[in-house]
């Protein structure tokens, strides 16, 4: 479907119930002084719209829990902007249940244990799911710093923040905090007793570097650190599951998926992907999914959005699928790339965007949305990157776990 807006860096939320519904948060005006968009509910099988809200500021990726949608909104970059906030909607009807607009900018939430956990520039918050009232507040924790966006993650009654702080989820007390001279700022994920932080930093006179630091979820002590070799301009998010940590190594020359051992940080395998503008990886059912753009060697302007599926244990490519945008509006100068795939109940959801465009209006004008279903037959050649003729350069090198 044509989004009539952009889902760049926004993920869809698929919910399985009596009816399968996918919720889309879309920006319709990315002017620096505005925040306009919509959030809507769509039937997974047909794409039929169930409801749509266009009267709120542009929403970011929502969280679903117990029949409610919770989300922060985009705040314009102009200093005098007076729009934004945090909202809770009834997921069945789209009606507003409560909102917090006394502060405009909030972090994307984590919803668990009867609370909505988020943060703004001053403090971390636990909000009551039903009313939005403050259950607890912890000042000077989880602030929106250096564009990181105050990422949150949760495990075992602990909330983790991008500033290197772990709070008790029930009362907001500090469980541990990284020392001031070792502050960790970056996206992170927590799994099986370990929290994994990823940070991108530019070293003057050197290459971009991406590092991963694994810390004990109990006390914050460093378990291991991994630093990518050479230039790596990727600024996405880690995928962590089943004993693996997945990241990308991306620069002008190549894009490589890397799998690290979650316990030790050892490199287990690497797989080269044919294409560019690759998304963050996603893991589901022992498979790694990555979105991006495939460009045939014969015609660089004829690029198409692509989804790759790799075996989680070996890195071997299971399949690659080219998305068909022929009946949708796309940019003639910037072929579409697929964003991070979301996998739910046998379907894959992804939004596309005009890859590499420096003109912001194109992201609103030329972004689309796809739902892929499972199939028992191999798709025809129109949907497969060529495996001969010199256009496919993917390789895999593996070492045993």
Tell me the C-alpha distance between 90 and 51, whole Å: 11
Distance CA 263, CA 130 (A): 38
Measured between alpha carbons, how far is 303 from 355 in angstroms, rounded to an integer? 10
Name the strand (E) or helix (H) holding 320. strand 317-322
Strands (E), 162-315: 165-168, 174-177, 187-191, 194-202, 208-216, 222-227, 239-241, 244-250, 255-261, 267-273, 282-284, 287-294, 304-311
Q: What is the pTM of this model?
A: 0.92
pLDDT of the residue at 298? 72
CA distance 65 to 165: 25
pLDDT of residue 149: 52
Torsion sign across C-alpha atoms 145, 136, 96, 51: positive
| Contact by Cβ (8 Å): 91, 99 | no
Q: How far apart are CA 400 and CA 381, in angstroms?
A: 33
The C-alpha atoms of residue 138 and residue 155 are separated, in whole angstroms, by 18
Residue 75 CA to residue 37 CA, distance in Å, equals 12
What are the structural domain ranges in the chain?
Answer: 1-106
Domain 1-106 fold: Thrombin, subunit H (2.40.10)
- How much is the pLDDT for 394? 39
Take residue 122 and report the two structure tokens written for it.
């001053």
> What does the pLDDT read at residue 184?
58
| Region for 266 from its dihedrals, namely left if φ exceeds 0, alpha if ψ lies in -120 to 50, beta otherwise | beta
Would you give per-residue pLDDT tens digits along the chain (401 residues)? 999 999 999 999 999 876 799 999 999 998 888 899 999 999 999 999 999 999 999 999 999 999 999 999 998 887 777 889 999 999 999 999 999 999 998 999 999 999 999 999 889 999 999 999 999 999 988 866 444 456 899 999 999 998 889 999 999 999 999 876 656 567 899 999 999 998 766 544 455 778 899 999 999 999 999 988 777 878 889 999 999 999 998 876 678 999 999 999 999 999 999 999 999 999 999 999 999 999 887 776 678 999 999 999 999 999 999 999 999 999 989 999 999 999 999 999 999 999 999 998 999 999 999 999 988 888 888 898 886 433 343 333 433 32
């Amino acid at each position: 479907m044509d989004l009539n807006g952009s889902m760049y860096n926004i993920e869809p939320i698929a919910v399985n119930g009596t009816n399968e519904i996918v919720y889309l948060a879309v920006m319709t005006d990315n002017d620096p002084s505005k925040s306009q968009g919509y959030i809507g509910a769509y039937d997974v099988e047909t794409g039929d719209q169930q409801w749509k809200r266009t009267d709120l500021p542009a929403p970011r990726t929502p969280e679903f829990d117990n029949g409610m949608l919770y989300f922060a909104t985009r705040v314009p970059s102009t200093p005098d902007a007076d729009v934004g906030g945090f909202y809770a909607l009834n997921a069945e009807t789209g009606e507003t249940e409560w909102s917090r607009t006394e502060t405009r900018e909030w972090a994307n939430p984590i919803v668990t244990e009867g609370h909505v956990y988020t943060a703004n520039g001053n403090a971390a918050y636990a909000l009551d799911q039903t009313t939005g009232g403050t259950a607890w507040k912890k000042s000077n924790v989880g602030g929106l710093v250096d564009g990181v966006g105050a990422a949150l993650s949760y495990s075992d009654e602990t909330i983790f923040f991008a500033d290197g702080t772990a709070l008790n989820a029930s009362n907001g007390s500090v469980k541990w905090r990284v020392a001031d001279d070792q502050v960790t700022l970056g996206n992170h994920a927590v799994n099986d007793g370990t929290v994994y932080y990823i940070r991108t930093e530019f070293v003057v006179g050197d290459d971009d570097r991406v590092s991963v630091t694994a810390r004990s979820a109990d006390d914050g002590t460093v378990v291991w650190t991994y630093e990518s070799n050479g230039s790596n301009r990727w600024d996405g998010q880690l995928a962590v599951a089943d004993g693996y940590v997945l990241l990308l190594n991306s620069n002008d020359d190549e894009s490589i998926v890397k799998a690290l051992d979650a316990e030790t940080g050892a490199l287990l395998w690497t797989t080269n992907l044919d294409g560019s503008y690759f998304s963050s990886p996603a893991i589901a059912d022992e498979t790694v999914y990555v979105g991006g753009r495939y460009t045939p060697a014969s015609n660089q302007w004829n690029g198409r959005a692509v989804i790759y599926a790799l075996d989680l244990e070996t890195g071997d490519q299971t399949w690659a699928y080219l998305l068909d945008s022929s009946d949708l509006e796309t940019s003639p100068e910037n072929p579409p790339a697929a964003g991070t795939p979301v996998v739910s109940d046998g379907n894959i959801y992804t939004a596309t965007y005009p890859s590499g465009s420096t003109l912001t209006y194109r992201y609103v004008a030329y972004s689309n949305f796809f739902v892929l279903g499972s199939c028992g037959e191999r798709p025809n050649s129109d949907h497969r990157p060529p495996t001969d003729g010199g256009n496919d350069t993917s390789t895999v090198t593996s070492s045993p776990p």
